[in-house]
């Protein structure tokens, strides 16, 4: 519900997960009918592994050079 509310209010939401299939399901579930003002972006990775977490941060930094507002 929070994800959908953020997207509907113009936010870009980053979904992080180990399984690409599950990430794609999240995108399908929350992308809606295209009338939203925000978007959801899938970022594959495992937050329990330091090297993967570093890559996740680099990926998001590449999309958001000025940082993110909600974590």
**Number of domain units in the chain:** 1
Q: Is 35 part of a structural domain of the chain?
A: yes
- Report pLDDT for 14: 93
DSSP percent split of the chain into helix, strand, coil, nearest 5: 45, 15, 35
Global pTM value: 0.79
Indicate whether 9 belongs to any domain: yes
Min mean pLDDT across 34-38, 42-46, 58-62 is at 34-38
Sorting pLDDT into bands at 50, 70 and 90, what band is 25? very high
| Residue 56, domain extent | 2-63
């Amino acid at each position: 519900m929070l994800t959908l509310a953020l997207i509907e209010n113009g936010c870009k939401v980053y979904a992080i997960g180990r399984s690409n299939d599950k990430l794609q399901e999240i995108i399908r579930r929350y992308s809606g009918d295209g009338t939203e003002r925000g978007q959801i972006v899938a970022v594959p990775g495992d937050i329990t592994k330091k090297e993967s977490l570093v890559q996740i941060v680099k990926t998001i930094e590449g999309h958001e050079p000025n940082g993110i507002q909600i974590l």
